[in-house]
């Protein structure tokens, strides 16, 4: 891990959402492990809440705290999407946009080789270009999600898809048969991404400008999972496309003990192998009371043992006492998923959760809420890797007709959890970043061009 003359300095600027920041952190650790220096930019409380890198990488990953300006309707202390109800997230975007000048000043003073940014900071590419810094639009969307959203013109112009119904079918630029599209209720929940919000800029426009103004596009994907979608992205974008792999989680045992783990482990140890349904919907998804009731009834009727991380409807805990565990505080998710008694994961379809589950051969039951979760779910369903809705619990977990989902989960483990595959994707990206770093940096380091 010794630093050499071709070590890079990369700035990372993810969206203010833990579902976005965590994959950036995983990639940062992989890059730092090869001797490259990372500056990770976010709001102060987010940085304090992020997992710390291992000691051998701590000197190469610098966390830079950028205080958010006060914005009307944005509660004090709210610095990530998980701190807010959905209708308040628009004010977080507005505050984030006001960081353009501090970020430009940091880039100018630190003089990195590259910046990696998400769709929310759609202005980062043009700032970098003005300063002679190369840029990567690193989207957390998988290939199917990025391909469904499409080329920059379709995102920026706003007249290709105007109604929720327009998003419930594959777009014209997808040349192969696919079921990847939103269901009506999924796009209806997030249609402000199309119509606009308090920041004055739609999410679609942000994504269009972000991918248009960068030098290259990177995404959390791999050819082993979605080759046709990655080929499509090469066709619709006139710039290099780099999948960075699935960014699987590390060894659960390296995450350390928590106060809650011993009692959780004791309960899991008492269950039969592969019978427990782990239920969690991430920090970004906030089920309504109706949705909570629907999920609770599905779990109750399934007759399966379960561990649910949630606040529950009145009376539910009493009715399932002895069969299910309800937990309302943080749990070590990786350790739970790695436990032999867990056979399936009832999840919102966020890709972080899907990767973690499939890394441990856990079957997926999908209950989508917001953002790109519906598109993820369609791809997983299409590949028969996951099945939607809570009513599918017994078939996916224990019945013969659901065997295909359990078998597919086993097939996916070598793909989602293989360290050699992951290494290959990161090396491919890093080789390009080193070859195409700005000329000024090559000259300053005494490298012949």
> Residue 297: pLDDT band by 50, 70, 90 thresholds?
confident
The answer to whether 159 and 135 are in contact (CB under 8 A) is no
When pLDDT is averaged across residues 180-206 and rounded to a whole number, the result is 90
pLDDT tens digits for 367-376?
887 778 888 8
Q: pLDDT value at position 152?
A: 93
pLDDT tens digits for 247-257?
987 766 655 55
Q: pLDDT value at position 5?
A: 56
Q: Angle, nearest 10°, between helix axes 351-359 and 403-416? A: 90
- Whether the predicted pLDDT of 32 surpasses 60: yes
> Where do we find the tokens 């890394």?
359
The answer to whether 382 and 176 are in contact (CB under 8 A) is no
When pLDDT is averaged across residues 188-196 and rounded to a whole number, the result is 87
CA dihedral 277, 283, 284, 286 (to 10 degrees): 70
pTM score: 0.87
Q: How many angstroms separate the CA atoms of 373 and 147, rounded?
A: 14
**Which is more confidently placed, 381 or 433?**
433
- Whether the predicted pLDDT of 271 surpasses 60: yes
Can you point out the beta strands (E) in 261-400?
276-279, 306-309, 324-327, 342-347, 363-366, 386-388
**Which is more confidently placed, 331 or 163?**
163
- Whether the predicted pLDDT of 446 surpasses 50: no
Q: How many C-beta atoms surround the C-beta of residue 128 within 10 A?
A: 26
> Residue 328: pLDDT band by 50, 70, 90 thresholds?
low
Lowest-pLDDT range of 161-165, 261-265, 309-313, 409-413:
309-313
Domains and CATH numbers, the chain: 9-248+418-444 (3.40.50.2000), 252-416 (3.40.50.2000)
Q: How many angstroms separate the CA atoms of 112 and 8, rounded?
A: 8
- Whether the predicted pLDDT of 116 surpasses 90: yes
423 exposed, middle or buried (CB, 10 Å; 0-12, 13-18, 19+)?
middle
Q: pLDDT value at position 374?
A: 85
**Max Cα separation, the chain?**
72
């Amino acid at each position: 891990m010794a630093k050499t003359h071709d070590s890079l300095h990369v700035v990372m600027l993810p969206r203010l959402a833990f579902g976005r920041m965590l994959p950036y952190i995983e990639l940062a650790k992989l890059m730092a492990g090869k001797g490259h220096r990372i500056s990770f930019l976010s709001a102060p409380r987010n940085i304090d809440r992020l997992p710390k890198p291992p000691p051998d990488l701590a000197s190469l990953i610098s966390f830079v705290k950028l205080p958010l300006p006060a914005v009307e309707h944005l509660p004090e202390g709210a610095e990530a999407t998980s701190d807010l109800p959905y209708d308040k997230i628009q004010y977080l975007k507005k505050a984030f946009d006001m960081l353009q000048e501090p970020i430009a000043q940091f880039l100018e003073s630190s003089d990195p080789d590259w910046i990696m940014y998400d769709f929310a900071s759609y202005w980062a590419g043009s700032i970098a270009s003005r300063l002679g810094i190369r840029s990567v639009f690193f989207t957390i969307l998988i290939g199917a999600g990025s391909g469904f959203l499409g080329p920059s013109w379709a995102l920026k112009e706003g007249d290709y898809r105007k109604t929720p119904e327009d998003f419930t079918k594959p777009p014209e630029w997808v040349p192969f048969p696919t079921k990847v599209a939103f269901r009506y209720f999924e796009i209806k929940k997030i249609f402000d991404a199309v119509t606009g919000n308090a920041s004055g800029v739609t999410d679609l426009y942000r994504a269009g400008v972000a991918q248009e103004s960068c030098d290259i596009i990177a995404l959390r994907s791999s050819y082993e999972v979605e080759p046709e979608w990655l080929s499509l992205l090469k066709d619709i974008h006139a710039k290099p496309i780099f999948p960075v792999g699935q960014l699987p989680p590390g060894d659960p045992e390296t995450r350390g003990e928590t106060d809650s783990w011993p009692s959780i482990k004791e309960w899991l140890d008492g269950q039969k192998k592969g019978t427990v349904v782990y239920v969690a919907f991430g920090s970004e998804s906030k089920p309504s009371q109706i949705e909570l009731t629907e999920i609770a009834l599905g779990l109750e009727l399934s007759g399966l043992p379960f561990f649910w991380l949630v606040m529950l409807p009145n009376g539910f805990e009493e009715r399932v006492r002895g069969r299910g565990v309800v937990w309302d505080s943080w749990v070590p998710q990786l350790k739970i998923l790695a436990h032999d008694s867990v056979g399936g994961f009832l999840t919102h379809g966020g890709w972080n959760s899907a990767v973690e589950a499939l890394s441990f051969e856990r079957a997926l039951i999908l209950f989508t809420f917001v953002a790109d979760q519906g598109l993820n779910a369609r791809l997983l369903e299409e590949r028969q890797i996951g099945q939607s809705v809570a009513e599918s619990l017994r078939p996916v977990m224990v019945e013969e007709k659901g065997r295909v989902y359990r078998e597919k989960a086993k097939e996916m483990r070598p793909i989602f959890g293989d360290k050699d595959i992951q290494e290959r994707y990161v090396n491919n990206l890093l080789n390009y970043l080193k070859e195409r770093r700005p000329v000024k940096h090559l000259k300053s380091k005494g490298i012949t061009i």
